[in-house]
Amino acid sequence: MDIKFLTDVGFLLGSVGFVWGLKRLSSPDTARRGNMIASIGMGLAILSIIFAPLEQGDNNYAWVVAGLAVGAVIGYLMAIKVKMTAMPQMVSIFNGLGGACAVLIAMVELRHFYTGASAMSGGQVAISLTALFIGGIAFTGSMLAWFKLEDWLRDNALVLPRHSIFNMALLAVILVMGIYVFVLKIDAGIGLAAIFMLLALLYGVSFVVPIGGADMPVVISLLNSFSGLSAAAAGLIYGNNFMLVGGILVGASGTILTILMCEAMNRSLLNVLIGGFGGGGAASKGATGDQVVKEVTLNDAAIQLFYSKSVMIVPGYGLAVAQAQKVCKEIDDLLETNGVDVKYAIHPVAGRMPGHMNVLLAEADVPYPKLLDLEDANAALKSTDIVVVVGANDVVNPAALDDPGSPIYGMPVLQVWDAKNTIVLKRSMNPGYAGIQNPLFFMEKTHMLFGDAKATLSKLVSEIKNL
Which of 356, 366, 152, 135 has its CA nearest to residue 230? 135
Other C-beta atoms within 10 Å of 276: how many?
19
Other C-beta atoms within 10 Å of 387: how many?
27
Q: Which residues pair with 315 in a beta bridge?
A: 390
Q: Which helix (H) or strand (E) holds 462?
A: helix 453-465
d(Cα 262, Cα 6) in Å, to the nearest integer? Answer: 43
Asked if residues 249 and 316 have their Cβ atoms less than 8 Å apart, the reply is no
Asked if residues 207 and 163 have their Cβ atoms less than 8 Å apart, the reply is no
Which of 148, 150, 130 has its CA nearest to residue 226? 130
Asked if residues 458 and 302 have their Cβ atoms less than 8 Å apart, the reply is no
Active-site annotation holds for 385: no
Q: Are strands 341-345 and 421-426 parallel, antiparallel or unpaired?
A: unpaired
Which of 451, 426, 450, 454 has its CA nearest to residue 438? 426
Among the options 8, 394, 418, 452, which is catalytic?
Answer: 394
230 burial via Cβ count (<10 Å: 0-12, 13-18, 19+): buried
Residues designated as active site: 394
